[in-house]
Structure 1
């Protein structure tokens, strides 16, 4: 290992920079590979996942999309009549926080503290679809909506057991209800939708005979040997038979219904990445985003290994004397090559060990929230082993060529000459640094546009007034007393106005209604609101009239459609249309200006604002509060929570969901925000590692061009001219790389932005900014490293040389 010792003694700073660059690169690679592995194996560890299918129908609103929220009668009939189905059922594959009182797990009281548990619901038959395994208790007792089963980890966490009694908050009333713990099931795979909840209760026979309630996701498990196409064909046959048996429908109506209810099965293993699912049941990912993160991580590794290769080649002129001296003394070429390879492996091993420490620091930092899964080594053994093998493989590969090259010279030639100024070696080193610049410039441009698009989505005019707006979601008990709560809050002079709605204004989807109109089936999303909602939100009515307080007493409800619905369906003010009542039709009072009620990824679709009238399905439970300018927002939010608790004393003020509207809006773009931060983080890493490479190359150039610098100084060159000479060389490389990076970056950015219905323009100044930033940073690094060589006494330099 004499070569390694000589290297460490001769260039300690370069060695340290190299190790640091590889450390950061390996840590970044491991973290991203954990996320990539999680994404590509999502739901695949569920038992018999390859035979489980999510049932869907063509989406009512967007062609090419599918909806998974279904009505129950036809799919229950499929489960009971199709022999190819081994098991089937309905269930929600996401956990929602709900209040629970555990107490001693046997006799809890309302005076005991409450906890928040992630809960879900599914039928007994659905448990067989997903292969739930009992650890304790019996599924025979899993019958009523107040019979709960906990996962093993959750049971341990909350201290509950089979036969125990707890209290669960009722979703609708908000009051606590006695519940039984009837079963404990084994923990489901972590990288699956089945790990998103801690406890489940049965759905039972809710809406089992209702053809109009579309609130139930269904899953089929095919028998072994049954293909997706065969099961799909059988399901479509049942649906066609059901529609064909409707004696009241015409042939045209039957044909239209068959087209709209054509069953489409989505493999459970593909639901995570499937972009055709509209309002999904479970987690989702974006394959392009995952591939992008993987590509960025690999680019960071490439940049780091370029430094590694450059470092080895930079030391060839120093090593060639030592290596060939050992040749003269009898060392074999194979042993010298092995020394060089082991040196590289040793450096990589040190970097991998330090990278593990960096990952552990990452796990305890706020940056860990950017990853949707655990980065713990114990949970990702395969990823850790792959990272180690990849690192060692690259160490061997990247060291072999320099090792063969350095041992290829004859001892006589090597001991006489200097190889510092080898033109081939110099071109090779500059090409590698140029590749680093190319990658860094491209990443800067792409990261900037990702950040700009995120800011654009948060600041874009969505068509309504977002200023001084607070929102709160309350339970139905409070919703039934909306007028009392509004009156109490209006006593505060800082509160300008109040309105109510049925759920958040901006969300992925909401209640969908289908209606027959002029002989055709039409579909639109429906958003029940208070009579003053449009005026409160600053949304103008462009035709007809606004809602009035008298509409709250209408018999059949009142519609106001958006412009998109009016133009798409040809509505007029003379129209009437069935509302929420079984009999009678609701008035179409007017048409409002379009506004964005979903993410800016989507175009505006048909929407109906709706007043229930005197016979509402349910109370409105989303409170909207407009404050005066410069109001004490924290005090008002606290007052809202207290007022809610006064209306319903079972509600703890700290549990009331009160937020600024803009903060809640940011929740729609969590994926984009995390993606933007990750891309920015890895771009900074790439720049830092690239600068380490530039620093190392400049250090090499100044070290082995000391004689040239000394001669130039003796001949009258100033320090500034020496610095200019080196800076021009690197500026040329940066400019060439920028010319190549520009079209590549434009293509990548355009592809990314094409996924948004509303997007920022591709600004030229971003490209210019990336060029200026890289030029300035490179100039600082080059100048800082060259200054020492440029100011050295030329007589001393020439004497040494």
Structure 2
């Protein structure tokens, strides 16, 4: 109790230092804890899945694209793979489940074969998911969707009506309910539909039977008794006798660990993905923020304790033991820490919703108080008490009384240590400022770089069978609406296409296998988007009947095509499509990857996605136009509502992670600058206090205020300059590694690093100049009397 009274007395006596310490520690611990919460979530992705290390992604030529025939081939030839499943996002862009005249939109539907829940053993709530997809018309729901549809009623054995863009009025039996997927899952779905249900769609069955329709992702669970290398050897030496002749040379099976897919295999497509380097940077930044707050605290406490040496010496003179001194010093550290932790928890709870928006997470209060999080906080607290309480207490306890009582015992060594810590703070700040400038430049570059197609003033929506069967009447009426200047169609959104074909190409008599991104489009597709025809001819009224293809420039180069005449794609045994033209490359994927080979097939009058070009002048006229479009849509398609999106917003969404990373670094940079400035203010107080008499003497001897300011500020300029020299190579390396994630990227110009250094220097000078001015303009008589 006596130690607590002494501690409170000391804290209140030095209010300014106490406030700086509390603010610095609270901000540092709060930000670092939120960062560590996010990093732990990313690092633990999919760790909740049982036997995760036994699950693998099946690959062909190191790519994840499989046909059903390829999956069956592996199942037959490699029985050591205990279970193999294949799946895809549901083909229908709009899916509704109806019950008791109520319809429920399913945002994310997965279609999978019967082995899906044997490979991925998610936690069951009701029923048996492992046998839940064994037949057609079966569905497994997540708990939240089941409760939304059935309430408290047991859904097992009950039915829901499946209404989708391509298949409607089908009664599905609910066979199981699983727990909602945690946010640490790379899987995203609300329900899983049995594959056999789609056999009712004719074109689906035809697509499925083709070896070249590699539109599925395949996963396998390996027996624990069999090594990964044995499976890889069997896959590389698999019997290819059953394969069609044209595929025997091109197929090369392999494995990729599913536990690494989240960070290292983004091509899978149906899974969420992360960036290992970005997560590492975020974790390092969180650690640096924590260290900055510690550095501030240590700097300020050591500076103040030099003033308290005499008090400690008096305590020792009065008979206090070394243990008593350690207890007294540690009590102050523990009390400060308890106040800080209480304030940090309150601040975390306040900032959690905003943090979720920045990171795209949905952390809850319960996760903040989880065991791992509290353990991490305890380790940080223990380290802080040890560094700022026990160690200084031991040092104080060892010092002789005469040395403690003697005035001005601080040494150049202590000043060097404090200055080194300040340099470290500005190294962090300059590196973060540089990073945010580079990231902002890259994001601006991606937004402004020509993607190769028009995307402004274009909206798109998913069509359905009702629209398809009345397409001529629908097209004629929608083009009569004021504000709609042109429409076109494609089989999927042009920047979100997941159709991948492995087909034969006949090139002047030579026949070989090729792979490309395939997209069916309307005849006016390229004119609508302003994609320039580079060679040959565009689609015409006979292109659908003739199965014509147009390829991009990358495909022409990859397929070694010199002349278009005499080249065709054979996508069925008796079905060939002539390649009639070549268009310029456009970025149908993000700038993270180079443009791939793409083939476009003419689909005629209508397809799965409609694009509308808007020529309205203001928001009011746009709303009027869309109201008329919606009325027309509801008349032609009463069961599937119009759900439109802006194409340019969809395009920007491809870089949402970069935008979030930029925002995260911007806030952490601000925090690091605040902490660095707090440390600078604390050190300024100490320096000014030490040099008070010196300043008074210089002024008495005629020194000008400008000379005093220069003398006081030059050391701070020197420390920032040293920090700039140290921070520049670190920031250059980090940003160069980050830019490697993009196939198309900006350059690392020298002025970015110079600007970061100038900004840091300006902030440092603004921080210390006020205190320097006060010291320089102080009455020299008061300075000479100062003790």
- 1:319-350 alpha-carbon deviations (Å, 9 max, x no partner): 10100000100111232123223322322232
Q: Is 2:56 the partner of 1:67?
A: no
- In structure 1, the residue corresponding to 2:161 is in which secondary structure? strand
Task: State the TM-score, normalizing by the size of structure 2.
Answer: 0.90
For residue 695 of structure 1, report the CA deviation from its aligned partner: 1.1
Tell me the residue number matched to 2:234.
234
Tell me the residue number matched to 2:577.
586
Aligned mate of 1:166, from 140, 145, 160: 160
Q: Is 2:411 the partner of 1:415?
A: no
Tell me the residue number matched to 1:192.
185
Name the Cα RMSD after superposition.
2.8
1:709-748 to 2 correspondence within 5 Å? 709-748=695-734
Aligned mate of 1:397, from 380, 384, 387: 387
For residue 494 of structure 1, report the CA deviation from its aligned partner: 2.6
For residue 87 of structure 1, report the CA deviation from its aligned partner: 2.5
Aligned mate of 1:623, from 604, 610, 631: 610
Q: Is 2:415 the partner of 1:426?
A: yes
For residue 134 of structure 1, report the CA deviation from its aligned partner: 4.6
Aligned mate of 1:505, from 480, 487, 494: 494
Tell me the residue number matched to 2:659.
673
Tell me the residue number matched to 1:757.
743
Is the contact made by 1:54 and 1:266 (CA closer than 8 Å) also made in structure 2?
yes
Q: Is 2:206 the partner of 1:215?
A: no
Q: Distance in 2 between matches of 1:478 and 1:409?
A: 88
- In structure 1, the residue corresponding to 2:601 is in which secondary structure? strand
Q: Is 2:529 the partner of 1:564?
A: no
Tell me the residue number matched to 1:85.
81
For residue 798 of structure 1, report the CA deviation from its aligned partner: 2.4
1:107-122 to 2 correspondence within 5 Å? 108-109=100-101, 112=102, 114-116=104-106, 118-122=108-112
Q: Distance in 1 between matches of 2:603 and 2:179?
A: 45
Aligned mate of 1:496, from 476, 485, 489: 485
Tell me the residue number matched to 2:202.
none
Q: Distance in 2 between matches of 1:533 and 1:352?
A: 59
Tell me the residue number matched to 1:345.
334
- 1:468-493 alpha-carbon deviations (Å, 9 max, x no partner): 22222333432454443332232234
- 1:138-170 alpha-carbon deviations (Å, 9 max, x no partner): 566745543222233443344152233333322
Q: Is 2:560 the partner of 1:573?
A: no
1:210-359 to 2 correspondence within 5 Å? 210-237=210-237, 240-241=238-239, 243-245=240-242, 249=245, 257-258=248-249, 260-275=250-265, 278-359=267-348
Aligned length: 765
Is the contact made by 1:463 and 1:594 (CA closer than 8 Å) also made in structure 2?
yes
Is the contact made by 2:298 and 2:388 (CA closer than 8 Å) also made in structure 1?
yes
Aligned mate of 1:789, from 775, 779, 783: 775
Q: Distance in 2 between matches of 1:316 and 1:137?
A: 66
Relative distance call for 1:461 and 1:223 in structure 2 (3 A) is same
- In structure 2, the residue corresponding to 1:463 is in which secondary structure? coil
Is the contact made by 1:144 and 1:202 (CA closer than 8 Å) also made in structure 2?
yes
- 1:422-470 alpha-carbon deviations (Å, 9 max, x no partner): 3222221111101111110011001111121112112211122233222
Q: Distance in 2 between matches of 1:415 and 1:685?
A: 38
Q: Distance in 2 between matches of 1:563 and 1:215?
A: 23
Q: Which moved more, 1:5-14 or 1:19-28?
A: 5-14
- 1:706-761 alpha-carbon deviations (Å, 9 max, x no partner): 22222233333344443333222211211221122222222222222122111112
Tell me the residue number matched to 1:465.
454
- 1:486-536 alpha-carbon deviations (Å, 9 max, x no partner): 322322343332222221122375333422442432222222211111122
Q: Which moved more, 1:403-412 or 1:567-576?
A: 403-412
Q: Distance in 2 between matches of 1:152 and 1:659?
A: 29
Q: Distance in 2 between matches of 1:11 and 1:485?
A: 77
Is the contact made by 1:55 and 1:265 (CA closer than 8 Å) also made in structure 2?
yes
- In structure 2, the residue corresponding to 1:461 is in which secondary structure? coil
Q: Is 2:440 the partner of 1:446?
A: no
Q: Distance in 2 between matches of 1:790 and 1:137?
A: 79
Q: Distance in 2 between matches of 1:747 and 1:50?
A: 33
Q: Which moved more, 1:422-431 or 1:132-141?
A: 132-141
Relative distance call for 1:45 and 1:314 in structure 2 (3 A) is same
Q: Is 2:46 the partner of 1:43?
A: yes
Relative distance call for 1:595 and 1:775 in structure 2 (3 A) is same
For residue 397 of structure 1, report the CA deviation from its aligned partner: 2.4
Q: Distance in 1 between matches of 2:497 and 2:275?
A: 16
Is the contact made by 1:149 and 1:185 (CA closer than 8 Å) also made in structure 2?
yes
- In structure 2, the residue corresponding to 1:67 is in which secondary structure? coil
For residue 369 of structure 1, report the CA deviation from its aligned partner: 4.4
Is the contact made by 1:67 and 1:280 (CA closer than 8 Å) also made in structure 2?
no
Q: Which moved more, 1:518-527 or 1:503-512?
A: 503-512
Q: Distance in 2 between matches of 1:663 and 1:694?
A: 43
Q: Distance in 1 between matches of 2:601 and 2:209?
A: 26
Tell me the residue number matched to 2:24.
21
Task: State the TM-score, normalizing by the size of structure 1.
Answer: 0.89
Is the contact made by 1:299 and 1:439 (CA closer than 8 Å) also made in structure 2?
yes
Is the contact made by 1:576 and 1:585 (CA closer than 8 Å) also made in structure 2?
no
Gaps of 5+ in 1: 59-65
Q: Is 2:506 the partner of 1:514?
A: no
Aligned mate of 1:147, from 138, 141, 146: 138
Q: Distance in 2 between matches of 1:646 and 1:579?
A: 40
Relative distance call for 1:480 and 1:70 in structure 2 (3 A) is farther
Q: Which moved more, 1:521-530 or 1:570-579?
A: 570-579
- In structure 2, the residue corresponding to 1:597 is in which secondary structure? coil
- In structure 2, the residue corresponding to 1:43 is in which secondary structure? coil
- In structure 2, the residue corresponding to 1:264 is in which secondary structure? strand
Q: Distance in 2 between matches of 1:564 and 1:388?
A: 56
- 1:303-324 alpha-carbon deviations (Å, 9 max, x no partner): 1111111012111321101000
- 1:255-301 alpha-carbon deviations (Å, 9 max, x no partner): xx35x3222122222221223x5233322211111111111111111
Q: Which moved more, 1:702-711 or 1:626-635?
A: 626-635
Is the contact made by 1:30 and 1:384 (CA closer than 8 Å) also made in structure 2?
no
